[in-house]
Amino acid sequence: MIVSTALTQQLERAEQRLGIFFRLGITPVQRLWAGVGLVAISDADDGDVTYRGFGELMNVPAVTQLVNGVADRVDFIISGVSRVAMETAAIESDLVKGATVDLGLGFFDQQLAFAGMIWLYQGEADVLTTSLDASSGSTTRSIKLSVGSAMTGRRRSRQTVFSDFDQQSSSPGDRICERIRRYSQGVNIEWPRY
């Protein structure tokens, strides 16, 4: 990770002015930040881009990086959206599946000018759902985006051992695995840990 001089100076300060930035890699790319107004950023990957404020973010999900553990899944929820936004999300939910989701921490200087960004989490969008809550007398519309890490998908091939039966089902007549049963007697198979 390359950290700019302005960001290094900002990190050395005792008082931090932070913003949470969210990027959804669909067409067009959706860029939001937990604040009010627009924030212009010059990004090495995207060039000059603008993040749109979506107000105060009440609840940021805990995100972790996978290190010899269970694959992580987080849910991003935006409440109080308009009826049009909710209908659009319901119609276009298929466009979101598989898109990259980035979550970053942005830093502002004393004059609230953008100083730099550290990207903390990258995941893959999975399911976009909408909900309507009318229990408290007023109607609250919410959009929920479920995001998983690269390890939560089922694209990886399952772990297996070679057997003559498996080899014959994929390549009939192939004799390369016919003696495997003799080699594996009395051996415990240990799966690698990722």
Q: Report which residue type is found at 162.
A: F
pTM: 0.63
**pLDDT reported for residue 164:** 80
CB atoms within 10 A of CB 107: 20
Distance between CA 44 and CA 54 in Å, rounded?
24
Distances (CA, A) of 103 to 50, 67, 83, 177: 15, 19, 26, 47
Distance between CA 30 and CA 28 in Å, rounded?
6
Instruction: Give yes or no for residue 152 having a pLDDT over 70.
Output: no
pLDDT tens digits, residue range 91-147?
888 888 888 888 888 888 778 888 788 888 888 888 888 888 887 778 888 888 888
User: Which residues, 6 or more positions from 178, have their beta carbon under 8 angstroms from its beta carbon?
Assistant: 164
pLDDT tens digits, residue range 9-63?
766 776 777 888 888 888 888 888 888 888 888 776 677 889 888 765 555 566 6
**pLDDT reported for residue 70:** 54
CB atoms within 10 A of CB 77: 15
Q: Is 14 helix (H, G, I), strand (E, B) or coil?
A: coil
Backbone angles phi, psi at 18, to 5 degrees: -115, 160
